Amino acid sequence: MRKVVKYVILDILRSKIILIYTLLLFIISLSVFFLDDNNSKGLLSLLNLVLFIVPLVSIIFSTIYIYNSSEFIELLVSQPLKRKSIWMSLFIGLSSSLVVSFIVGAGLTVLYFEPSITGILMILLGSMLSVIFVAIALLACVITRDKTKGIGAAIFLWLYFAIIFDGLVLFLLFQFADYPLEKPMMIISAFNPIDLSRIMILLRLDISALMGYTGAVFKDFFGTSIGFIVSVVTLLLWIIIPLYFSERIFRKKDL
């Protein structure tokens, strides 16, 4: 399995897209911190960019990579290798290279300008989001055989998590404005890893005071160590569940 991971990573590095992504993250994070005098504000601006770009690049890159290496996968399947280890190698190769490029591109600048717990939390969340969206991409790929459909599904999934989900939540909030929705909102946020990460960071920044009563309720839960653990476990589930199902489908897939 280690050998296959090695070849996946070599192959990813050869395509150079991952290097461009690292450079892009580096330029963005650097310019954000230079633009704002206040590093905490800089972190907030960076957060919004990271929550958009990281899932997008992770899901699209992984989907295209999987489809483009269908030959490679076919070649491996006819060899004495376990299907599970082939799939896991693809997952590990993709997620480790995306995580490393996130840490090198954005993580180092964050550590330099804002070496606080919030900064470290942001690096952790960015890395987790990368892995989550690799897992979601694997699931999208294994379900659809057609490349166009698969990439379309990946784009739509990103759109859903990044934009549509928030729209639906807002709609719900307005419809049920007369009811106390703070607690249900916490549960709903668990259904979107991007939102969950955003809340986890926002509550550590001063601006959470601006969120009113909801902010207070959120802080009551997410601010505690139990809340933190629950959130991290939820994010981990976002990795494990799609990965588990994709592997089960891949095990029986005809190539």
Partner 1 sequence: MINVNNISKQFGKLKALDGLSIEFTMGECIALIGPNGCGKTTLIKSILGMVVPDEGTILFNKKDIYKDWKYRSQIGYMPQIGRYPDNMTIGQVIHMMIDIRKADTTILDNELIENFELNSMMNKRMRTLSGGTRQKVSASLAFLFNANVLILDEPTAGLDPVSSEILKDKIIKEKSKGKLIIITSHVLSELDDIVNQIVYMQEGKLKFQKEISLLRAETGEDKLSKAIAKTMLKNKI
* Residues contributing to the site for partner 1 (CB under 8 A): 3-4, 7, 11, 14-15, 69-72, 74-83, 252-255
CB of 244 to partner 1, least distance (A): 17
Cβ(67)–Cβ(141) below 8 Å: yes
Cβ(1)–Cβ(89) below 8 Å: yes
183 versus 251: smaller Cβ distance to partner 1 = 251
16 versus 37: smaller Cβ distance to partner 1 = 16
CB of 230 to partner 1, least distance (A): 36
CB of 58 to partner 1, least distance (A): 21
DSSP classification of residue 106: I
d(CA 28, CA 109): 10
- Say how far residue 25 (Cα) sits from the centre of its chain: 15
30 versus 81: smaller Cβ distance to partner 1 = 81
To the nearest 10°, report the CA torsion of 222, 223, 226, 228.
60
41 versus 253: smaller Cβ distance to partner 1 = 253
14 versus 148: smaller Cβ distance to partner 1 = 14
CB of 75 to partner 1, least distance (A): 6
Helix/strand/coil for 116 = coil
Could you tell me what percentage of the chain is helix, strand and coil, using 3-state DSSP and rounding each to the nearest 5? 85, 0, 15
Nearest to 128, CA basis, from 148, 99, 169, 164: 99
- Say how far residue 110 (Cα) sits from the centre of its chain: 18
229 versus 255: smaller Cβ distance to partner 1 = 255
CB of 68 to partner 1, least distance (A): 8
d(CA 108, CA 82): 37
What radius of gyration do the chain's Cα atoms show?
A: 19
- Number of C-beta neighbours around residue 213 at 10 A: 9
3 versus 183: smaller Cβ distance to partner 1 = 3
CB of 97 to partner 1, least distance (A): 15
CB of 53 to partner 1, least distance (A): 26
How many residues make up the chain in this entry? 255
